[in-house]
Amino acid sequence: MDVFLTGAGWITFDPTNRSMGGANLIPVAVVRDIAQAVPISGAFIGAANAFESMDVAVEVSEL
């Protein structure tokens, strides 16, 4: 999430970790109105060790 502050410009925040963002954040959406960025929620039912890791692949291409 980026917030525009007069005099400081655009500041990146990481609400998940309650900290200022950095280069390690991967933007997953861009919207003009916050109402368009509705979070997705879900649930998992299973053994606690059934989900041990996650991989993310990012491909950058020219438009």
Q: What is the pLDDT of residues 21-39, one digit of tens each?
A: 777 777 777 778 777 776 6
Q: Please state the pTM of the whole predicted model.
A: 0.37
Ranges of each domain in the chain: 2-50
Give the residue carrying structure tokens 């368009």: 36
What confidence tier does 40 reach under pLDDT thresholds 50, 70, 90?
low
Cβ atoms of 24 and 17 closer than 8 Å: no
For residue 36, the model assigns a pLDDT of 75
Rounded distance between C-alpha atoms, residue 52 and residue 62, angstroms: 34
